């Protein structure tokens, strides 16, 4: 399609019909859950230390370099952001439907039981399937506070998003300048020690903090920690893996959650505001989406590549990166890029040829819960049980990702021709309603467009 044809198509595109709106939400959810695997696999297949950095023990040029640039420039944080927005939007749809059909009391009862079961699934995913990057547990804890906000207007919800963004940005920069202080004070005391000057108790403490920080955050320290992690994971028995991941998960689900709850809640509120205003279902002017896509993606990607250039020049030395960073704007960048992608997807979905392509992901989105958990199960079997953890180069992990993508697109499409829900969706739904739910279709549908009328997942 030429640039002129694309512009004409966008200008002439009409608002989405009711069924297309539901299809669109499922398509975006499907894209998001597949995109999440791309980033999660970088922590599944190697030490989590190299999630955002290239591994110095592997070639840092060629395919590894381009794989890293692609991830950090276009995917990091954004797929999770889209998934979180869809969770917030889906929560509004779910609660509205429950209150309409069952009343406020029953709606609250069902909603909170559903969220508590999500928490249980998150614990299983983290402790049994050995995926410490699980988001279900954190989603459940943040989801517990969404119900009282269901009636708020989009404007008030956006105020909440802004407040949470300010909180997140403040905390990120506070952490950055705490690290800067450790480095500055540590180097000053180190100089005094070289001059054989007697150190005070406070100076001795500053030196100990600096030495510990340096040992863990320079390149040699990261390589050492990565090797220790690989040694604990490779060829370990299930009980040993359980003990290792138990300790990791306990820290992530306590300190880790405390340091990042505002991130999840911010995107939840954004999703609630976007569905209430009709923005996410394409009801606004096409020019709003065009401007949002151009500015959101353009500014954030430019910012990303500035960071990529600095990281590569510093050879991923966290100390050098900390010293040179004037500020931390990760959450602002991530919110802009995620909203930019959402605007772009809305625009593309209004164009019939692109809509047909995007509808390929609808079954994946309708089974997003099952697909997300299956990614953890398959990743655990491949990298832990089969011993491939730490054995693949960064670009080679893409082969694993591509295989799972093709499998989940195919499996989801075939499964939903015969069943109403994904396997884990059915289990979650049955536990929520305290009754086994029907799962088999009475008649195989000829078109996928019928399916969203039956289930709108969250």
Decide if pLDDT at 269 tops 70: yes
State pLDDT tens for residues 33-70: 999 999 999 999 998 889 989 998 899 999 999 999 99
Mean pLDDT over all residues of the chain?
A: 89
At 443, the pLDDT band (50, 70, 90 cuts) reads low
Q: What pTM, to 2 d.p., does this model score?
A: 0.89
Decide if pLDDT at 259 tops 90: no
Helix (H) or strand (E) segment spanning residue 439: none
Decide if pLDDT at 448 tops 50: no
Sort 174 into a burial class: Cβ within 10 Å, 0-12 / 13-18 / 19+: exposed
Look at residue 20 in the predicted model and tell me its pLDDT: 59
State pLDDT tens for residues 105-132: 889 999 999 999 999 999 999 999 999 9
- DSSP H helices, 3-77, are 3-12, 18-44, 62-70
The length of the chain in residues reads 458
Cα dihedral 428, 368, 268, 38 sign: positive
State pLDDT tens for residues 144-193: 999 999 999 999 999 999 999 999 999 999 999 999 999 999 999 988 88
Nearest partner of 275 among 104, 101, 29, judged by Cα: 29
State pLDDT tens for residues 371-390: 999 999 999 999 999 989 88
Decide if pLDDT at 410 tops 70: yes
Decide if pLDDT at 341 tops 50: yes
State pLDDT tens for residues 169-180: 999 999 999 999
What is the CB-side half-sphere exposure of residue 72 using CA atoms within 13 A?
23
Look at residue 13 in the predicted model and tell me its pLDDT: 46
Average pLDDT over residues 194-221: 87
Look at residue 396 in the predicted model and tell me its pLDDT: 95
Structure tokens at 450: 């019928």
Look at residue 12 in the predicted model and tell me its pLDDT: 40
What percent of the chain is predicted at pLDDT more than 90? 69
At 394, the pLDDT band (50, 70, 90 cuts) reads very high
In the three-class reduction of DSSP (H, G, I as helix; E, B as strand; rest coil), residue 297 is classed as helix
- Do the Cβ atoms of 344 and 85 come closer than 8 Å? no
At 19, the pLDDT band (50, 70, 90 cuts) reads low
At 21, the pLDDT band (50, 70, 90 cuts) reads low
Average pLDDT over residues 283-299: 95
What percent of the chain is predicted at pLDDT more than 70? 92
């Amino acid at each position: 399609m030429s640039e002129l044809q694309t512009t004409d198509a966008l200008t002439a595109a009409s608002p989405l019909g009711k069924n297309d709106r539901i299809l669109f939400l499922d398509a975006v959810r499907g894209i998001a859950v597949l995109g999440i695997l791309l980033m999660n696999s970088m922590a599944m297949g190697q030490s989590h230390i190299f999630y955002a950095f290239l591994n110095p023990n592997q070639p840092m040029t060629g395919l590894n370099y381009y794989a890293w640039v692609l991830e950090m420039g276009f995917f990091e944080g954004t797929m999770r952001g889209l998934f979180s927005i869809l969770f917030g939007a889906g929560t509004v749809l779910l609660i509205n439907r429950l209150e309409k059909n069952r009343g406020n009391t029953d709606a609250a009862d069902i909603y909170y039981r559903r969220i508590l079961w999500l928490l249980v699934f998150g614990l299983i995913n983290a402790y049994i399937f050995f995926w410490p990057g699980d988001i279900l547990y954190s989603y459940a804890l943040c989801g517990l506070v969404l119900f009282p906000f269901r009636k708020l207007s989009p404007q008030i919800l956006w105020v909440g998003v802004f407040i949470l963004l300010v909180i997140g940005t403040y905390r990120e920069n506070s952490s950055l300048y705490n690290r800067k202080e450790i480095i500055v004070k540590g180097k000053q005391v180190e100089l005094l020690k070289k001059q054989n000057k007697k150190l005070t108790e406070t100076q001795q403490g500053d030196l100990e903090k600096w030495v510990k920080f340096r040992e863990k955050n320079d390149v040699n320290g990261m390589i050492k920690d990565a090797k220790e992690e690989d040694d604990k994971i490779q060829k370990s028995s299930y009980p040993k893996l359980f003990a290792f991941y138990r300790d990791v998960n306990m820290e992530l689900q306590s300190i880790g959650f405390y340091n990042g709850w505002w991130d999840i809640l911010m995107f939840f509120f954004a999703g609630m505001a976007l569905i209430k205003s009709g923005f996410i279902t394409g009801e606004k002017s096409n020019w709003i989406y065009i401007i949002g896509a151009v500015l959101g993606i353009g500014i954030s990607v430019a910012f990303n590549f500035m960071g990529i250039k600095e990281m590569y020049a510093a050879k991923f030395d966290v100390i050098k990166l900390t010293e040179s960073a004037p500020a931390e704007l990760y959450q602002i960048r991530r919110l802009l890029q995620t909203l930019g992608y959402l605007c772009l997807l809305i625009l593309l979905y209004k164009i019939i040829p692109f809509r047909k392509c995007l509808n390929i992901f609808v079954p994946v989105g309708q089974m997003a819960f099952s697909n997300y958990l299956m990614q953890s199960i398959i990743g655990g079997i491949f990298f832990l049980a089969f011993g491939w953890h730490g054995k693949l180069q960064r670009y080679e992990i893409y082969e694993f990702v591509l295989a799972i993508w093709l499998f989940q697109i195919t499996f989801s499409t075939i499964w939903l021709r015969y069943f109403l829900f994904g396997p884990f969706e059915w289990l979650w739904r049955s536990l929520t309603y305290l009754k086994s739910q029907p799962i088999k279709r009475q008649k195989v549908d000829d078109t996928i467009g019928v399916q969203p009328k039956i289930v709108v997942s969250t």
